[in-house]
Structure 1
Amino acid sequence: MAAAAAGGYRAEDDYDYLFKVVLIGDSGVGKSNLLSRFTKNEFSLESKSTIGVEFATRSLQVDGKVIKAQIWDTAGQERYRAITSAYYRGAVGALLVYDVTRRATFDNVGRWLRELRDHTDPSIVCMLIGNKSDLRHLVAVSTEDGKEFAEAESMYFMETSALDATNVDNAFTEVLTQIYQIVNKKPVEAPEDGSAGPGKGEKINVKDDVSAMKRVGCCSN
């Protein structure tokens, strides 16, 4: 996969695409640590529940283009549900996270997926993430169960560990690369003002139907 961190070869505000990606799933599954591991290469054993919404950014290079990922993280608790519409607005990618050591968080994945699909474009690129894979002696959700659910719902799948960084970069990079490839499947319609393509910093709303894409197989751990 031709993707690498944009390590200083361009200014922070110099990018070709800006993609909004949301993290969803129950409270305590590790969404915030996935975000901090990917964007800052940090992990906190004492991380507290996210209050409201926060986001962080990181740039990657794909096919010679700089993609800036704006990754949003929100609390999984029910009391924050009022932010739903604004949280999902403009998202072109999602990581739906459960904790492999807590079966209940996997059982709730279907509800989170329905909510995601109710509030986003049908073509959103979604990956199911089984987090905390380092806790193998406590696993309550098998890799096969995760793969089976993802395949049935036409989602990508990967198991990760924010603690030891296993597959964290791979998961985000795969989602961003797939979004980029969808955006570039057909020419961007020229704006009426005659300018060429989307302006810098403009969010790309993916409209292609990707339901037929094979999404499981290349992304297992």
Structure 2
Amino acid sequence: MEKKKNLEQDCIFRIVIIGYDYECGIKSLLKKFTLGEFSPFPESQVGVDFDIKTINVDNQDIKLQIWPQNKYFNDTSDKRDFLYKGAHGYLLVYGCHSQKSFDNLLNDWMVQIDKFSNEFSKRNLVLVCNNSETPETYMTKPNYLVDSNITKQWANSKNIPFFEINPKENFNVDEPFIQLARLIKNQNFINSTK
């Protein structure tokens, strides 16, 4: 029988950020969220790496252990099981300039989450449209824009919160993480990794 975690104690939530590698800007988002710095081309990490940041949600400090996941990570079942079965929630990130990044969330990542995740974490999803460009830049590439009305409709149909962010302009960067932590916390967080 699983025990409910006492929320008065330190909470550590394992969050997995999922996206299609460079086309959705996961590394830039993570660097801005954890360090407050923006880099359009952050250095690649070798091996499995995660970041930690403590945030305050509804007057409670919650430590987030954040694992970036990309298309190259699903190469072994050990890695996949570690991330999916140990996760408490997922941040689904796509790039506003890449229809491919959104299509991969629907056609690959959502299938992986449904197949390999625990029942608790499947309920804790947040969809993020990442735009690291200035308005002048993305207006010159209209063919690459993902229709945000379609993505919002999809998120609404699944009861998934949706956020548009811009790490370069420091717009809405913290909100998806706070919302995801709140979803986990409000479900009377069960330590689902044991």
Give the TM-score category using the shorter length.
0.7 to 0.9
Structure 1 vs Structure 2: percent identity of aligned residues?
A: 28
Question: Gaps spanning 5+ residues in structure 1: where?
Answer: 1-14, 189-203, 207-221
Instruction: Please tell me whether residue 31 in structure 1 is matched to residue 36 in structure 2.
Output: no
Question: Number of residues paired by the alignment?
Answer: 174
- Higher RCO (C-alpha 8 Å, min separation 6): 2
Matching residue of 1:44: 39
* Partner deviation per Cα, 1:141-183 (whole Å, 9 max, x = no partner): 1221110111222321111112222111011111111211112
> CA separation of 1:63/1:46 partners in 2, compared to 1, >3 Å: closer, same or farther?
closer
Instruction: Write the letter of the residue equivalent to 1:103.
Output: Q
Say whether the 8 Å CA contact 1:51–1:75 is kept in structure 2. no
Could you tell me which amino acid in structure 2 is paired with residue 97 of structure 1?
Answer: V
- Once residues 59 and 159 of structure 1 are traced to their aligned partners in structure 2, the CA distance between those partners, rounded to angstroms, is 22
Structure 2 partner of 1:64: 59
How has the CA–CA distance of structure 1 residues 50 and 144 changed in structure 2, closer, same or farther, with 3 Å as cutoff?
Answer: farther
CA contact (8 A) 2:167 2:173 kept: yes
Tell me the distance in 2 between the aligned counterparts of 1:48 and 1:146.
29
CA gap of 1:55–1:128, structure 2 versus 1, over 3 A, is: same
Which structure dedicates a bigger proportion of its chain to helix? Answer: 2
Conservation of the 8 A alpha-carbon contact between 1:59 and 1:66: yes
Instruction: Report how far residue 122 of structure 1 moved.
Output: 2.7
Alpha-carbon distance between aligned partners in 1 of 2:18 and 2:118, rounded to the nearest angstrom: 16
TM-score after normalising by structure 1: 0.71
Match of 2:186 in 1: 181
Give the partner amino acid of 2:49. Answer: E
Match of 2:192 in 1: 205
**Structure 2 unaligned regions, length at least 5:** 1-8
- CA contact under 8 A between 2:34 and 2:52: conserved in structure 1? yes
Q: State the alpha-carbon separation in 2 of the partners of residues 91 and 50 from structure 1.
A: 20
Structure having the higher Rg? 1
Match of 1:22 in 2: 16
Question: 2 CA distance for matches of 1:145 and 1:86?
Answer: 32
- Return the offset for 1:123: 3.2
